[in-house]
Amino acid sequence: AQSVTQLDSHVSVSEGTPVLLRCNYSSSYSPSLFWYVQHPNKGLQLLLKYTSAATLVKGINGFEAEFKKSETSFHLTKPSAHMSDAAEYFCVVSELEYGNKLVFGAGTILRVKS
């Protein structure tokens, strides 16, 4: 079975400081992993995805994530937070063997202080 655990429900950072949103996954086979962002009252936007190519994945808006199979982690980072990064972030796993359905983590709310 596949599952995702986002280790922090809320993260608060100051503008200009690094962002780290943590995600651990569980999968039986070879997962695809995604990070989506949801701004208040908006839909979901893909930040980045890992699908068995390079383990360090770069996404939009300066975000990146590293797939670490030995740690079953896919943490999301950004060197310098911007006020516009304040949103909810979802780590997502998908596997071909489970019909490619997306399984979402519970989400991490990122707050950026000025």
Partner 1 sequence: DTAVSQTPKYLVTQMGNDKSIKCEQNLGHDTMYWYKQDSKKFLKIMFSYNNKELIINETVPNRFSPKSPDKAHLNLHINSLELGDSAVYFCASSHKGAGGRTDTQYFGPGTRLTVL
Which residues face 64 on adjacent strands? 58, 77
54 contacts partner 1 (rule: CB under 8 A): no
Residues near 97 by Cβ (< 8 Å), separated by ≥ 6?
28, 29
Nearer to partner 1, 22 or 104 (CB): 104
Nearer to partner 1, 25 or 36 (CB): 36
Q: What is the DSSP string of 16-77?
A: TS-EEE-EEEE-SS--EEEEEEE-TT--EEEEEEESSS-SEEE-GGG-EEEEETTTTEEEEE
CB 40 → partner 1: shortest distance, Å?
11
40 contacts partner 1 (rule: CB under 8 A): no
Task: Find the binder of partner 1 among 45, 62, 77, 87 (CB under 8 A).
Answer: 45
The residues that touch partner 1, with contacts defined as CB under 8 A, are: 32, 34, 36, 38, 42-46, 49, 51, 88, 90, 94, 96, 99-104, 106-107
